[in-house]
Amino acid sequence: MDRRQFLAAALAGGAATALVPARGNARAAPVTTTARIVIIGAGAAGTALANRLMERLDGAQITLIDPRREHLYQPGLSLVAAGLKPASYVVSDTARWLPEGVTWLQDYVAAVDPETRKVTTAGGTVLDYDRLVVAPGLILDHDAIEGFSLDMVGENGIGALYAGPDYAARTWAAASRFIETGGTALFTRPATEMKCAGAPLKHAFLIDDIARRAGQEGAVNMVYTAPQATLFGVPIVSEKVRMLFEDRGIDTMMKRTLTAIDAGAKRATFATEAGAEEIDYDYIHVIPPQRAPDFVRQSGLSWADKWTDQGWVEADMATLRHLRYPDIFALGDVAGVPKGKTAASVKWQVPVVEDHLVASLEGRDGTKAYDGYTSCPLITRVGSAMLVEFDYHNNLVPSFPGVIAPLEELWISWLMKEVALKATYNAMLRGKA
């Protein structure tokens, strides 16, 4: 099923329709193997791959390592933080998505030895592998913001929706109080790579829209701040967002990196080219720096010359195969490739890793390539969004050319985010897309 068929099916009928494979896309006969395959992380990427490998391989020992019992549908966090969905909307049981026959080891990975091909967990279990897939997502480094801690979220005008469902709900509590009382809101984003780079913009757009609907347009002062010089990594999208911000009266303060918060004084400190700058706020949304889990770097899997402060896994950008250890693949947010930290990217990365991993077990080369596909249903108001899709080269790659314009605020793009995306995501988890 190609991208357009998949999204159309999901939108028309939800996951059940989306699960029906397109004609002519029958899966290959299972490959018989006794390979030991270890997957680190049972999030979007690890779970989707485990389901697909169970169908592709006959006899493989597949072990998924992840301590988390709850699976989080993270794209829903933006909706929770705008009071549009309850926290429970994003939470399900990890076990529900795992295929029969996979061993789930509920533990943290503490180290990988890529030379002897061993994985060691925090609990002391040591696993040998023939192929390893590294998919532990990323770390949100909230401690990097001086004076900030997660227990502050929801109080004193502080929001942090990335931190999880309860924090997203508390973020809405703080944001809705701000809307009632008015004042200045600061929306921040980190200087590092981040998952779903559209989410900081979505939060600003939604809180602005909800304030307008509440008749508080004149009482709130919305300010979007970012370390970068532009609002989005794809120039044409950046320009569109700039125009929308201008229309809506959302101010921007670029080249500013949040470094500290004084919660009592409601004052934020930013690093700028001219030195530290303090800005008072009534509401602040914090998105911290992001990096690979420590074991990735400590195990020597990271790039030595790129993203050295962030530690993403050194991987070929087309095959996601480790450049120094061909038995290892990177998948999802942790992959050190120039784009792709979205669940939509995971959807297109998983078949590529499956292809090359299975081919390697058969002693041949895989043929599939990941093109950097990244998608961001960029919500601009309650009930409208822009379905922005692009690749490594910043080309816009719309799934519905001529039907859904990528840079227009549309109800149908909102439906994509609000209704279809979760069905699509769930189908992906089951390996059916």
- What residue ranges bind ligand FAD (CB under 6 A)? 40-46, 65-66, 68, 74-75, 77-78, 108-109, 135-137, 161-162, 195-196, 199, 293, 295, 332-333, 341-344, 346, 375, 377
Nearer to ligand FAD among residue 6 and residue 33 (C-beta): 6
Note the Cα 428 to chain centre separation in Å. 14
Least CB distance to ligand FAD at residue 417 (A): 6
C-beta of 221: minimal distance to ligand FAD in Å? 24
428: left (phi over 0), alpha (psi -120 to 50) or beta: alpha
- Minimum Å gap between C-beta 122 and ligand FAD is 8
Q: Output 68 or 393, the one with its CB closest to ligand FAD.
A: 68
CB of 129 to ligand FAD, least distance (A): 14
Closer by beta carbon to ligand FAD, 193 or else 282 = 193
d(CA 348, CA 424): 12
> Rounded to an integer, what distance in angstroms lies between the CA atom of residue 72 and that of residue 196?
15
d(CA 287, CA 160): 6
Classify residue 14 as exposed, middle or buried by CB count within 10 Å of its CB (0-12, 13-18, 19+). middle
Quick one: which of 357, 340, 341, 145 has its CA closest to 260?
A: 145
Of 266 and 417, which has the nearer Cβ to ligand FAD?
417
45 versus 132: smaller Cβ distance to ligand FAD: 45
Rounded Cα–Cα distance for residues 277 and 212 (Å)? 29
Nearer to ligand FAD, 135 or 174 (CB): 135
For the CB of residue 291, give the shortest distance to ligand FAD in the complex, in Å: 12
**Bridge-based pairing state of the strands 290-291 and 220-226:** unpaired
Alpha helix (H) residue ranges in 234-391: 235-248, 294-298, 343-361
CB of residue 354 to ligand FAD, shortest distance in Å:
15
Which of residues 36 and 255 has its CB atom nearest to ligand FAD in the complex? 36
Separation between Cα atoms, residue 220 and residue 343, nearest integer Å: 33
Q: What's the min distance (Å) between Cβ of 14 and ligand FAD?
A: 17
DSSP secondary structure code for residue 322 in this structure? B
